[in-house]
């Protein structure tokens, strides 16, 4: 590749490295907001599925207002699992309710949450790399501009740019790492609950 092309590419990336980092940060914020609302939506769907599956069962768990949404979902899961294991003949009753559930877009919905979460986790690791990239490009651009003879002034400017990009990249990485760690348990719980419902509905329908 022509040296001038490489130099132009290095110059473009170096001059816009902060915009690139901020651009990735905006994408990360979008992913976080999207995951938050997808989780909220999926939780309400799972709770709706619970109510549908328990329809017609007089001894079903009561809707306790003091319980959070996951406690209600878990109570329904435990109730259905116990009923199926102790009274297999009730599968037909659950199957009637499961027909309504199967028509809903329950299956596969949580895969979108998993995809967004995977991208979010990847971007957390990208920010420090962008900081390192800024460091390398700043030094490389200085070398290109001076024809291999690096003077103290140019090297000083490159060092300042390198430190700024590194600090910014690490700061964003730490910030989004903390946010990801708070999201992860909730995401895993929603996915586990979705898989549990999928298994229960499949068991009922196969019977």
Residue whose C-alpha is closest to residue 130's, from 202, 24, 48, 41: 24
Task: Give the count of domains, the chain.
Answer: 1
Residue 95 reports pLDDT greater than 70: no
Q: Residue 63 falls within a domain, yes or no?
A: no
Rounded Cα gap, residues 198 and 106, in angstroms: 8
Answer yes or no: is 59 within a domain: no
Range of the domain at 123: 3-54+68-206
pLDDT greater than 80 at residue 77: no
Match 């599925």 to its residue by tokens: 49
pLDDT at 31 over 90: yes
Q: Is residue 95 part of a domain?
A: yes
Domain presence at residue 24: yes
Q: Determine, yes or no, domain membership for 60.
A: no
User: Greater confidence, 119 or 160?
Assistant: 119
- pLDDT-based confidence at 137, cuts 50/70/90? confident
Distance CA 24, CA 16 (A): 12
154-187 pLDDT per residue, tens: 667 777 877 888 889 999 999 999 999 988 888 8
pTM of this structure: 0.77
Instruction: Read off the pLDDT band of 103 (50, 70, 90).
Output: very low
81 confidence band (pLDDT: 50, 70, 90): confident
Q: If you average pLDDT over every residue of the chain, what do you get?
A: 77
- Is 33 within a domain? yes
Instruction: Tell me whether residue 17 is exposed, middle or buried, using C-beta atoms within 10 angstroms of its C-beta: 0 to 12, 13 to 18, 19 or more.
Output: buried
Is the residue at 49 inside a domain?
Answer: yes
């Amino acid at each position: 590749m022509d040296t001038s092309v490489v130099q132009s590419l290095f110059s473009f990336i170096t001059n816009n490295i902060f915009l690139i980092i901020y651009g990735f940060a905006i994408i990360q914020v979008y992913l976080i907001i999207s995951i938050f609302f997808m989780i909220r939506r999926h939780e309400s769907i799972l709770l709706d599925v619970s109510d549908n599956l328990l329809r017609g069962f007089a001894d079903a768990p009561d809707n306790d207002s003091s319980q959070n949404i996951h406690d209600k979902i878990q109570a329904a899961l435990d109730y259905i699992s116990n009923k199926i294991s102790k009274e297999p003949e009730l599968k037909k009753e659950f199957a009637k309710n499961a027909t309504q559930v199967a028509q809903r877009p329950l299956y596969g919905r949580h895969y979108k949450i998993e995809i967004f979460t995977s991208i979010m986790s990847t971007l957390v690791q990208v920010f420090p790399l962008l900081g390192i990239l800024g460091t390398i490009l700043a030094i490389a651009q200085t070398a290109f501009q001076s024809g291999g003879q690096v003077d103290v002034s140019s090297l000083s400017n490159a060092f300042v740019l390198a430190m700024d990009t590194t600090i910014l990249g690490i700061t964003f990485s730490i910030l989004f790492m903390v946010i990801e760690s708070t999201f992860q348990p909730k995401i895993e719980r929603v996915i586990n609950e979705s898989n549990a419902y999928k298994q229960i509905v499949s068991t009922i329908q196969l019977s």
